[in-house]
Structure 1
Amino acid sequence: MCLISEDEHLRKIAERMQEKFKKYRGELEKMNKIIFIASVLDPRNKFEYVSLALEKLFGEKKGKKINAEVYAYMNSLFEEYSTGSCPQSPSSSTSSNNTSNTSSGSVITVSLIRTKLHLKKQKEDNGSGGAKSELDKYISEEQEPFSEEFDILSWWEIHALRFPILSELARDVLAIKISSVASECAFSTGGRILDSFRSSLTPKCVQVLVCVQDWLREEKNPISVEEDLEYLEELKLDMENNGSTTSFV
């Protein structure tokens, strides 16, 4: 761990990073549990990975406590989505009707096959140890093998028939924000810091400004304008008195 490193410079960097992390994420007890839920909804991780990571990072006792809170929060989210979800939205039913009118037989056949497969899977799950909720089935199933090419959103899209409620939850939790802005900036009346001229600088101008700023900051010897002016005045007088031209390098 960098926080207990013997290198003082590295330790100070780690301390500053931890301060920033606590500022935006907060203490572990106050941390938004949705961060852990996103990991649970990854079929490669599920609760096994989250519980193991929490115990390894924060100790067995504290890790188990946080893991229990995450599990309870996951159940409450699932119950909330179960209450608010409906079997079929009006938009989907309208689109399916339009599709069935345009391509009559094929779509109906595919829909029937999917429905039968879903019912068969549901009967198998109910017959092997009582009725299970979607969450219980999802947790009890084997984890997907780890792969960098694994597409989480595609996985949930494919398994939406088996996990209709969880797929809705995953769609909301795993959504990628296009942009974000701090609340103090969104509700501030102070105006823009960068005007339209500064924000429309060309890359070349930005590069020049950055280079000049870097050179000025790296200047070790202080710049004395008065001394330089005095030297130039003396040099000018000397040239006028001698009446000759001096070359400089």
Structure 2
Amino acid sequence: MVGLMASNMKRKFEKYWENMDNQNMLLYVGIVLDPRYKMRYLDFGLRKMYAYDQSKIIDMSWKVKNAFIRMYEAYIQNEEGSSPQRTSSPREDASPSTTQSTNRHAALMAQFKQELQSEDSLESRSEVDRYLAEKCEDEGDNFDLLNWWKVNSVRYRILSKVARDVLAIPVSTVASESTFSTAGRVLDPFRSSLNPMMVEALICAQNWLRSSSTPISLRTLMDEVEEFEKQIDMGELVGELAYSAEGSNEMATES
């Protein structure tokens, strides 16, 4: 029984982690967005995991960083698309006239402004490089990851938005009815009203039934439970009627 459970767990693990193509890069991006770890901790972990294959370490590290940069660039494009576009007047060719010096000065100033805009754009696109180049934060029990990004949102205007969205994603979710793996994921009134003691009893009974060769029909068992409850309710009703009848007889005898 334990061996079968271990085999199923290993198969489930390999489904998500054995092949790098099946792995969700957001799990690794979340590590990179932690200022205590960044790419340095990821590379360290990859060297420990794939010490037997250097090419896999390089490939995985490149995939994670590439996914990180592509997410950042997508957020930049979204910001630029939502902001109003700046329109600039077309440059006029210099012509020999009395305003030639004025046009030349205007053309130089336009080129200067374009260069400033280009520098500002390059600076904003280097948030990833600046973030990864800085030293990692010290590990501490009171370190608040979300608060760190909130405080540093002025320095990393775009990257903080990436962190806000990525770190808000739960790593995994487990449905409450997964405990009852005999049937499908069906949440009925019986399961929603179970107390811890009854859940433990059902799990033990499930293990006992699985150890036998008798096939399990959950629907049949549930129908039997319903029928049993009806019999109990009917018995209680008959008991109440009998008690009422007995009381009526006693009152009639006394009168």
Q: What TM-score comes out, normalization by structure 2 length?
A: 0.52
**C-alpha separation in 2, matches of 1:165 and 1:81:** 7
1:83 to 56, 77, 87: 77
Q: How many residues align?
A: 165
2:159 to 138, 158, 166: 166
Q: CA distance change for structure 1 residues 178 and 199 in 2, over 3 Å: closer, same or farther?
A: farther
Unaligned residue ranges in structure 1 (runs of 5+): 1-8, 90-125, 220-249
**C-alpha separation in 2, matches of 1:62 and 1:202:** 48
Which residue type is aligned with residue 168 of structure 2?
A
**C-alpha separation in 2, matches of 1:192 and 1:18:** 22
Question: Is 1:46 aligned to 2:33, yes or no?
Answer: no
8 Å contact from structure 1 (residues 55, 62) kept in 2:
no
- Which residue in 2 is equivalent to 1:239? none
8 Å contact from structure 2 (residues 16, 22) kept in 1:
no
8 Å contact from structure 1 (residues 56, 63) kept in 2:
no
1:30 to 4, 22, 44: 22
Question: Is 1:66 aligned to 2:60, yes or no?
Answer: yes
**C-alpha separation in 2, matches of 1:13 and 1:201:** 25
Q: CA distance change for structure 1 residues 216 and 14 in 2, over 3 Å: closer, same or farther?
A: closer
Q: CA distance change for structure 1 residues 80 and 61 in 2, over 3 Å: closer, same or farther?
A: same
**C-alpha separation in 2, matches of 1:213 and 1:154:** 46
Deviations 1:165-192 (A, max 9, x none): 111101111114498578xx9xxxx997
How much does 1:60 deviate?
2.2
**C-alpha separation in 2, matches of 1:176 and 1:14:** 29
- Which residue in 2 is equivalent to 1:194? 187
**C-alpha separation in 2, matches of 1:15 and 1:195:** 30
Which has the bigger relative contact order, CA under 8 A and spacing at least 6? 2
Question: Is 1:153 aligned to 2:146, yes or no?
Answer: yes
Q: What TM-score comes out, normalization by structure 1 length?
A: 0.54
- Which residue in 2 is equivalent to 1:55? 47
> C-alpha root-mean-square deviation of aligned residues, in Å?
4.0
Aligned positions of 1:169-180 closer than 5 A? 169-177=162-170, 180=173
Q: CA distance change for structure 1 residues 160 and 213 in 2, over 3 Å: closer, same or farther?
A: same
Q: CA distance change for structure 1 residues 181 and 57 in 2, over 3 Å: closer, same or farther?
A: closer
Q: Secondary structure at the match of 2:22?
A: coil
1:141 to 134, 137, 148: 134
Sequence identity of aligned pairs in percent?
Answer: 38
8 Å contact from structure 2 (residues 32, 39) kept in 1:
yes
How much does 1:203 deviate?
3.6
Unaligned residue ranges in structure 2 (runs of 5+): 84-118, 213-255
